[in-house]
């Protein structure tokens, strides 16, 4: 059996309508790719929709919500492709766009991961497609830029291909050889900062992480942090864990000191 070029992994939790639209956007699905849908114990009609309308997808059904990291790790473990794409269910993606990302990786053997431009439904660039490591200075600069200059720290509309610290897990293409070297997503992070952590581990292992704005996908989400108190709690818990894992005691102390200000600026 021929090894698939690309394994597309879509994690779902109670987003049946979005999931259907996402899967429809991926048609016609190339025959040399594989599609895996991991359902995190949805209580809506998600599983039935995949079974009825997308029988070519390999479906993994969990009896409990294993979070972003746990669910995606299941998909990665079950996949066989040379490249692995983590794709949110609230995205609309043409197969041609993913083929461009695969071609980019083929042409850049030093790349461990690449992410595309994220677009809002109206076509404008969506924030947080890429960024820098969340050091205390970086977080402070980002918050103050928003407060004082009323603009983001990064230019989300940039056309420049660039090596970055991390790219968003909403659409993240990773080389299997790189995953075999650094390991899976860290399941101590239920959600948030798992992409930062993964990309940092890739870079420490000698791989590069690229942001490729020549490829664009529509991401319908990206607002849950502002509207969901549980998501906010998960965000700051993952940030604290990230610091404990990667930074020294001084940085952890600075985070505790600056966190109230950072939370205020984030509002």
Report CA torsion sign: 255, 258, 264, 266: negative
Point out which residues pair with 21 in neighbouring strands.
Answer: none
Give the rounded percent of residues in the chain with a pLDDT score beyond 70. Answer: 94
Q: Are 231 and 225 in contact (CB under 8 A)?
A: yes
Higher pLDDT, 74 or 67: 74
Return the CA Rg of the chain: 18
Phi and psi at residue 116, to the nearest 5°: -90, 175
Nearest to 207 by CA among 103, 85, 135, 114: 114
Residue 213 forms part of a structural domain: yes
Residue 26 forms part of a structural domain: yes
Q: Are 167 and 127 in contact (CB under 8 A)?
A: no
pLDDT at 222: 55
Q: 241 in the Ramachandran plot: left (φ > 0), alpha (ψ -120 to 50) or beta?
A: alpha
pLDDT at 160: 97
pLDDT above 60 for 228: no
Residue 263 forms part of a structural domain: no
Chain-centroid distance of CA 206 in Å reads 20
pLDDT above 90 for 1: no
pLDDT at 23: 98
Nearest to 105 by CA among 21, 207, 180: 207
Q: What's the burial of 224, exposed, middle or buried (CB within 10 Å: 0-12/13-18/19+)?
A: middle
pLDDT at 267: 61
Residue 40 forms part of a structural domain: yes
Higher pLDDT, 226 or 77: 77
How many domains does the chain contain in total?
1
Higher pLDDT, 252 or 70: 70
Mean pLDDT on 192-210: 97
Residue 12 forms part of a structural domain: yes
Residue 74 forms part of a structural domain: yes
Q: Are 86 and 72 in contact (CB under 8 A)?
A: yes
The helices-and-strands tally (H runs, E runs) of the chain is 10, 11
Nearest to 246 by CA among 216, 212, 190, 203: 203
Q: What is the mean pLDDT of the chain?
A: 92
pLDDT above 60 for 225: no
Residue 29 forms part of a structural domain: yes
pLDDT at 230: 74
Grade residue 265 by pLDDT with cuts at 50, 70 and 90: low
pLDDT at 151: 85
pLDDT tens-digit profile of 27-44? 999 999 999 999 999 999
What is the C-alpha separation between 127 and 243, in angstroms, rounded? 23
What is the C-alpha separation between 52 and 146, in angstroms, rounded? 46
pLDDT at 227: 46
Phi and psi at residue 224, to the nearest 5°: -65, -30
pLDDT tens-digit profile of 71-107? 999 999 999 999 999 999 999 999 999 999 999 999 9
Range of the domain at 15: 6-222
> N- to C-terminal Cα distance for the chain?
52
Residue 149 forms part of a structural domain: yes
pLDDT above 90 for 57: yes
Q: What is the CATH number of the domain that holds 190?
A: 3.90.550.10
Q: DSSP string of 88-121?
A: ETTEE--HHHHHHHHHHHHH-TTEEEEEEEEE-T
What is the C-alpha separation between 127 and 168, in angstroms, rounded? 10
pLDDT tens-digit profile of 100-157? 999 999 999 999 999 999 999 999 999 999 999 999 889 888 878 877 888 888 999 9
Give the rounded percent of residues in the chain with a pLDDT score beyond 90. Answer: 78
pLDDT at 147: 78
Q: Would you state the structure tokens that stand for residue 261, as one six-digit string?
A: 């200000």
Report CA torsion sign: 259, 166, 77, 21: positive
pLDDT at 43: 95
């Amino acid at each position: 059996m021929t090894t698939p070029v690309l394994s597309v992994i879509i994690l779902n939790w109670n987003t049946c309508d979005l999931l259907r639209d996402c899967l429809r956007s991926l048609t016609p699905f190339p025959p040399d790719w594989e599609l895996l849908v991991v359902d995190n114990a949805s209580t809506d009609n998600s599983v039935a929709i995949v079974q009825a309308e997308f029988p070519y997808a390999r479906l993994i059904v969990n009896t409990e919500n294993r979070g972003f990291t746990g669910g995606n790790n299941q998909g990665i473990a079950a996949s066989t492709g040379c490249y692995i794409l983590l794709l949110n269910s609230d995205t609309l993606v043409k197969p041609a766009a993913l083929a461009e990302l695969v071609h980019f990786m083929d042409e850049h053997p030093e790349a461990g991961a690449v992410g595309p431009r994220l677009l809002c439904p109206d076509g404008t660039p969506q924030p947080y497609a890429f960024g820098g490591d969340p050091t205390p200075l970086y977080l402070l600069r980002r918050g103050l830029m928003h407060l004082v200059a009323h603009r983001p720290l990064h230019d989300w509309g940039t056309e420049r291909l660039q090596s970055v610290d991390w790219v968003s897990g909403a659409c993240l293409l990773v080389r299997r050889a790189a995953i075999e070297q650094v390991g899976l997503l860290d399941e101590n992070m239920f959600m948030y900062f798992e992409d930062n952590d993964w990309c940092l581990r890739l870079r420490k292992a000698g791989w590069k992480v690229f942001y490729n704005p020549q490829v664009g996908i529509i991401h319908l989400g990206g607002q849950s942090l502002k509207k969901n108190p549980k998501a906010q709690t998960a965000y700051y818990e993952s940030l604290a864990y990230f610091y404990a894992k990667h930074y020294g005691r001084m940085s952890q102390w600075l985070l505790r000191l600056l966190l109230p200000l950072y939370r205020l600026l984030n509002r």
